[in-house]
Amino acid sequence: MSDLDTTNEDSAAASAPAKRRGRPKKRVQEGPETAAKKRGRPKKTEQAAPTRRERPKELVFALDIGTRSVIGIVAEQRDGLLHILATDRLEHRTRAMLDGQIHDVPQVAAIIREVKHRLMERTGPLTSAAVAAAGRALYTMTADAEQDFTGTITPAQQRDLDFAGVQEAQKKLAHSHTVDDPTRYYCVGYSTIRYTLDGNELKTLIGQRGRKATATVIATFLPRQVVDSMQSALRETHLEMRALTLEPIAGINVLIPPTMRHLNLVLVDIGAGTSDVAITRNGSVIAYGMVPMAGDEITESISREYLLDFNIAEDIKRKAADGQDVSFTDILGMKLSLTAEQVLAAIKPGVEHLAKAIGKQILELNGEPPQAVMLVGGGARTPMMTELVAEALGIPAGRVAVRHPDTVDGVADLPEELRAPDAVTPLGILKIASINTLHFLAVWINDIEYSLFNFRELNVSDALLAAGISLRKYNGRPGMGLMLTVNGERRSFPGTMGTLAQITIDGKSASLDSPIHDDCRIKLVAGENGTQPTVRLSDVIGSTSGYNVVLNGEETSVPTSILINDAVPEGDPILRDGDTVVSRRDRTLGEVLRAAHLPPTGRRISYTLNGEARRFSALPKITLNDAPAALSTILREGDVIDYEETAIPTLETVLDLSSLASYATITYEGKEHSVPAAGQVLTINGREASPGTIVEDGSVIAYQKGRGTANVSEALLAVGFTPPPATSRVTFAILVNGVRADFTSPIHTGDTLEVVLTPIDAPPTSSASASATTGKPADDPAAPAASTILSGIAARAAQAADGSALFDASTETTESGTVAAANTGDQSVPPSPQNTTTPSAQEAPHTGTAITVESLMRYD
C-alpha cells in the first residue's frame, strides 16, 4: 500500500497546510522559501503561508466499507471537478463482516479508524464520511410524484420533486405489506426513471416551463439494522454519516453515465459478501437487485475442499486467479502443493453456482437477457466468472466483461491504483457525495435517536413519520359517550374531548410543521383522554314530583312512575350506557294500592289441605270517590280511595265446608234431602279447629269425612221440619221406613223419614198400627208432646249455629252433663202442670251420645 500512499501524497501536496510534516511537505514549501532567501526577504514567505493553510474547498471523504476490505478516498472539488487528494485501503483482520452486514462493530471501527488516521496525515481533519450499503435484504419501490409549477423549473425544484417521489415510495412500501414494520427500513438510494411535463416525457425538467410535472422514481430500502450498524461503526471513529447510497447506484454512476442508459445494460458489483445488480434501459435505471453470495463463497469452497483457514484460502484463490502455483499446510499440518489449474478445477462448481444465481436475478429483474453485462468489484476477478455468467444468461461471452474505471466523469486525474474493478464503488460514492444526495439528520424523539434523510427542510411531522410514531396514539381519545333509551326514544350523550399531545423542540413549544435541525430533541407528552359524561335520571326526565291522593283517610303522595331497566330506581341515580328509562306520571289505582302495600286483588294465603298445596284470595272492597272503580283507573290530584278487606281468612271462608262434608241422602215428604254425616274431623296445624278458626299463611289443614250416617234429630234439622205452635195439643210419632224411631235412632242413605202428628182428642191414627208393629201402646204416657219436639229441634239448631256440633252431630251434651235416652213410641203429657217430673229414661239403641230429655220438654 506504500506506493498508493506516495502517489496520493504527491497529488495532495499542493494544497496541504504548511504545518504538515514529512518529505512531500518540505518539497512543496522548498521553492518559495529558497526564492525568498535569494531575494533576502525570508519573512514574506511566512506571510504567504497562512493563505495556503486555509483550504478553500470542503473535503469529500468517501468510505467503501466492504465485506473484505475498507477503501477510503479523500478529494476536494475545484473548478467543477473532484481532485483526489489521498486514498487508502485495509483488509479486515477477522471476518467482522458477512454478506455485507457488519457483525463486529468494534473490529470494523478499528479498521475504519486506521484508514481515517492514515488519510488525515495527508489531508487534515476528517469529520464526516459518505458511505454505501450493500443490497442485502433489499426492497425497491417505484412511485410517482406530481407537482405544479409556475415559471422556469430550477434544479432545486427538480430535486424537490425527486425527493417527493422518494416519500411516495416510502408510503407505498408502508402500505404494501411487503415488510412487517416499514419504519425499520431506510431509503438508501434512488434513481429517477423519467420526467413528464404536461404529458410530455423529458430527460430533465431543468430550464423547462410548464404547469404540471411528474417524476417517476425507483427507491431502494434496506433494513434499519444495516444502516444503524454502519452509523455505529462511524461514530466509534468520530465520523458523521455525510451521505448514504447503495453500492450498485454508486457503481452505475461511474461506469454507465446517462448517455449510455438508453441501452439495456446490467452492472453487477461482485464483492466478497454480496453481488449487487443495477439495470438500465430507455434512458434510466429501471431496477436494482441483490444476490446474497459473492467472492467469499468461492473462498469457503477452497477452505472446505482443502481444510484451510479462511485467510489462507483467500490467498490461494488470488494466486490461482493470477496463474500461480500454490503450496500450503492444512489444519492437520499436512503440506500440499497445487497448480493453478488444480485450484481452478476445485472452485469451478462454486463459480458456476454463483454465476447461475446472478443470471437468475438479472432475468427476474429485466425479463429477458440484456444487451451487455459489466462486472465490477473484487469478486469480478474470479476466474471463469465472465464466461459462466454469459452462459447463464444465454448471451455471447463477449457481452460480459470486467470493467475498469479508466476515466470517471467529473473526476480529474484518476490515480492508477483506483483504476481497478474494486475501486468502482468508492469512486461512485465519492461522486454521489459531491452532489449532496441523501444526507442524514440525527434527531432525538423522547430520548431515542433517529436518523432522517435530510433531502429538504424537515419538520416534526417528517421526524415522527421516520420514527414510525403515530401522533394519534399520543392525542387523548374522546371519552366514551352514553346511549340511552328514554320512553322509547334513543338519546345520545357525547363524552368530553381528549386533549392534544404536547410537542416541544429543545424545550420550546412546537407543532407538526415546526422545522427541525440536526441533534434537536423532540419531546412528545401524551394528551389526556376524555371522560364519559355523568348523566343522572333527573337530567333526562326533568322533575320527578307527582301528586297527592287520599287513601283510607290519609293524604298520600303519588310519585311519577319511573323504571330503569324494568326496575324501580332509588333517588336520582347515575345512568349507565345502554340503560332504558321509562317515565310515566299517570298512575293507576292498582299501582297506588300496591305501592301502599295493599294488595289490589286481596290477601293471598297459601295453605295445605290433606297434603295438597292450595291458595286462597280474599277480594277487598275498593272504592274511588265513593264509587267502585277498576284497578286500571287513572288517578288524579285529590282522588279519595277507600280500601277494606271484606273477609277474614277463617276455615269457614277459606274452605268450602259444605262440599267437604259427607251426607246421608233420605226421603222426607216425597223429596230427597241431604243430612250431614257424623264422625267428621277437622284440624289446623295438628290442633282441633272449628269453622271460625283463623287460617294463617302456611297453615296445614287436615280433614276427615264422616261415616256416612246420621240420626233422626239431625235429619229433622236438615229437612227443615216445622212443628205446629206450642199451644197446640198434639202427639207425634217418628217413623223411619215406617218403623217407629226415636231422636237417636240412626238414619242412612235411602231411608224414608216421617213425622206423624196426632191431636190428643183424636182417635188413633196409623201410628196405632205402628204401635202394633212395635208391640207398644200408642198412648204411651212417656211419649213427648209436639212442643217438646220443637224445643229439642230448636236447641239443636242453636248448637249448630255456634258451630259447636257441626261436624259431630251424633253427640250432644246437656248443660248438667247428664246423658238421657228418649223412649220410643208415642208420648203424652198430662194436662196438669204439676206433672213435671222427667220420665225415666230407657236405653235405646243408638250410635252417638244421647241428647237430654230436658231439651225436649213439652210447653203446652
Q: Is residue 24 part of a domain?
A: no
In this predicted model, which residue has the larger pLDDT, 321 or 11?
321
pLDDT at residue 361 greater than cutoff 50: yes
In this predicted model, which residue has the larger pLDDT, 644 or 854?
644
pLDDT at residue 7 greater than cutoff 50: no
DSSP per-residue string spanning 457-470: --BHHHHHHHHT--
Read off the pLDDT of each residue in 575-581 and give the average, rounded to a whole number.
88
Helical segments of 385-470, H only: 385-393, 424-433, 460-467
The dihedral over CA atoms of 438, 440, 441, 445, expressed in degrees to the nearest 10, equals: 110
Backbone φ and ψ of 185, nearest 5° = -125, 140
Read off the pLDDT of each residue in 229-252 and give the average, rounded to a whole number.
85
Backbone φ and ψ of 217, nearest 5° = -120, 140
The three three-digit cell numbers of residue 14, written as one number: 499542493
The answer to whether 109 and 185 are in contact (CB under 8 A) is no
- Per-residue pLDDT, 232: 87
On whether both 268 and 392 belong to a single domain, the answer is yes
- Per-residue pLDDT, 388: 93
On whether both 790 and 735 belong to a single domain, the answer is yes
Query: Amino acid identity of 404?
Result: H
pLDDT at residue 627 greater than cutoff 50: yes
The chain-wide mean pLDDT, for the chain, equals 76
Percent of the chain with pLDDT over 70: 77
Backbone φ and ψ of 490, nearest 5° = -80, 130
Q: What is the distance, to the nearest Å, from the Cα of residue 486 to the centroid of all Cα atoms in its chain?
A: 29
pLDDT at residue 112 greater than cutoff 90: yes
Last residue of a domain, one of 378, 405, 432: 405
Walk across the sheet containing 508-510 and list its strands.
448-453, 440-445, 520-525, 502-505, 508-510
On whether both 849 and 715 belong to a single domain, the answer is yes
* Dihedral of alpha carbons 157, 159, 165, 167, sign: negative
Q: What is the largest CA-CA distance in the chain?
A: 204
3-state secondary structure 710-738: EEHHHHHHHHCCCCCCCCCCEEEEEEECC
Nearest to 136 by CA among 272, 305, 331: 272
The answer to whether 601 and 619 are in contact (CB under 8 A) is yes
The answer to whether 320 and 384 are in contact (CB under 8 A) is no
DSSP element (H, E) containing 473:
helix 471-474
Number of domains within the chain? 4
pLDDT at residue 514 greater than cutoff 80: yes
d(CA 768, CA 778): 5
User: Coil, helix or strand for 4?
Assistant: helix
- Per-residue pLDDT, 823: 34
Q: How far is CA 343 from CA 272, 298, 322, 327, 384, in A?
A: 19, 11, 11, 11, 12
Query: Amino acid identity of 732?
Result: F
- Cβ neighbours of residue 798 under 8 Å, at least 6 residues apart? none
The enclosing domain of 394 has a CATH number of 3.30.420.40
On whether both 851 and 714 belong to a single domain, the answer is yes
> Beta strand pairing status for 59-65 and 128-133?
parallel
pLDDT at residue 784 greater than cutoff 70: no
Of the candidate ranges 24-38, 289-303, 701-715, the one whose mean pLDDT is the lowest: 24-38
Last residue of a domain, one of 525, 552, 572: 525
> Beta strand pairing status for 81-91 and 411-412?
parallel
Q: Based on the number of CB atoms within 10 Å of its own CB, is 177 exposed (0-12), middle (13-18) or buried (19 or more)?
A: exposed
pLDDT at residue 72 greater than cutoff 90: yes
pLDDT digits (tens, 9 = 90+) for 323-333: 889 898 988 88
- Per-residue pLDDT, 702: 85
d(CA 95, CA 85): 30
On whether both 749 and 794 belong to a single domain, the answer is yes
d(CA 328, CA 313): 9
In this predicted model, which residue has the larger pLDDT, 847 or 671?
671
On whether both 744 and 832 belong to a single domain, the answer is yes
In this predicted model, which residue has the larger pLDDT, 237 or 138?
237
d(CA 128, CA 439): 11
The three three-digit cell numbers of residue 321, written as one number: 486467479
d(CA 104, CA 86): 27
On whether both 397 and 454 belong to a single domain, the answer is no
Read off the pLDDT of each residue in 775-785 and give the average, rounded to a whole number.
41
On whether both 471 and 392 belong to a single domain, the answer is no
Nearest to 600 by CA among 620, 586, 617, 615: 620
The enclosing domain of 457 has a CATH number of 3.10.20.30
pLDDT at residue 396 greater than cutoff 50: yes
Read off the pLDDT of each residue in 334-354 and give the average, rounded to a whole number.
90
In this predicted model, which residue has the larger pLDDT, 706 or 246?
246
Read off the pLDDT of each residue in 316-343 and give the average, rounded to a whole number.
89
d(CA 27, CA 13): 9
> Can you state the angle between helices 105-123 and 2-12, rounded to 10 degrees?
40
pLDDT at residue 834 greater than cutoff 50: no
Q: Is residue 649 part of a domain?
A: no
d(CA 768, CA 789): 20
In this predicted model, which residue has the larger pLDDT, 652 or 7?
652
DSSP per-residue string spanning 762-808: SPP-HHHHHHHHHTS-TT-TTSPBHHHHHHHHHHHHHHHHTTTTSS-
Last residue of a domain, one of 525, 554, 589: 525
d(CA 51, CA 680): 144
Q: Is residue 831 part of a domain?
A: yes
d(CA 796, CA 717): 8
Place 829 in a pLDDT band, splitting at 50, 70 and 90.
very low
Grid cell 497445487 is found at 338
On whether both 295 and 379 belong to a single domain, the answer is yes
Place 15 in a pLDDT band, splitting at 50, 70 and 90.
very low
pLDDT digits (tens, 9 = 90+) for 717-738: 878 787 777 677 777 788 889 8
The dihedral over CA atoms of 302, 308, 311, 315, expressed in degrees to the nearest 10, equals: -60
Q: How far is CA 574 from CA 535, 577, 757, in A?
A: 6, 10, 89
Residues β-bridged to residue 525: 502
Q: Is residue 423 part of a domain?
A: no
Read off the pLDDT of each residue in 261-287 and give the average, rounded to a whole number.
88
Place 49 in a pLDDT band, splitting at 50, 70 and 90.
very low
d(CA 583, CA 559): 11
Walk across the sheet containing 139-148 and list its strands.
139-148, 212-223, 185-197, 200-202
On whether both 335 and 385 belong to a single domain, the answer is yes
The answer to whether 369 and 400 are in contact (CB under 8 A) is no
Other beta carbons within 10 Å of 509: 9
- Per-residue pLDDT, 733: 85
pLDDT at residue 798 greater than cutoff 90: no
On whether both 388 and 309 belong to a single domain, the answer is yes
pLDDT at residue 675 greater than cutoff 80: no
Of the candidate ranges 381-385, 591-595, 809-813, the one whose mean pLDDT is the lowest: 809-813
Angle CA 590–592–594, to nearest 5:
65
- Per-residue pLDDT, 107: 92
Q: What number of H helices and E strands is found in the chain? A: 21, 44
Q: Is residue 420 part of a domain?
A: no
- Per-residue pLDDT, 679: 63
Of the candidate ranges 195-209, 466-480, 755-769, the one whose mean pLDDT is the lowest: 755-769
Q: Is residue 372 part of a domain?
A: yes
The three three-digit cell numbers of residue 30, written as one number: 522548498
Residues in the chain, total? 860
Read off the pLDDT of each residue in 49-54 and give the average, rounded to a whole number.
40
Domain range enclosing 334: 260-282+290-405
The three three-digit cell numbers of residue 493, written as one number: 350523550
Q: Based on the number of CB atoms within 10 Å of its own CB, is 409 exposed (0-12), middle (13-18) or buried (19 or more)?
A: exposed
pLDDT digits (tens, 9 = 90+) for 805-817: 333 333 333 333 3
Place 362 in a pLDDT band, splitting at 50, 70 and 90.
very high
On whether both 390 and 463 belong to a single domain, the answer is no
Place 453 in a pLDDT band, splitting at 50, 70 and 90.
low
3-state secondary structure 571-625: CCCECCCCCEEEEECCCEHHHHHHHCCCCCCCEEEEEEECCEEEEEEECEEEEEC
- Per-residue pLDDT, 264: 93
The three three-digit cell numbers of residue 191, written as one number: 434513481
Place 21 in a pLDDT band, splitting at 50, 70 and 90.
very low
Q: Is residue 228 part of a domain?
A: no
Q: Is residue 556 part of a domain?
A: yes
d(CA 770, CA 394): 151
DSSP 62: E
Q: How far is CA 541 from CA 51, 484, 563, 577, in A?
A: 91, 12, 11, 16
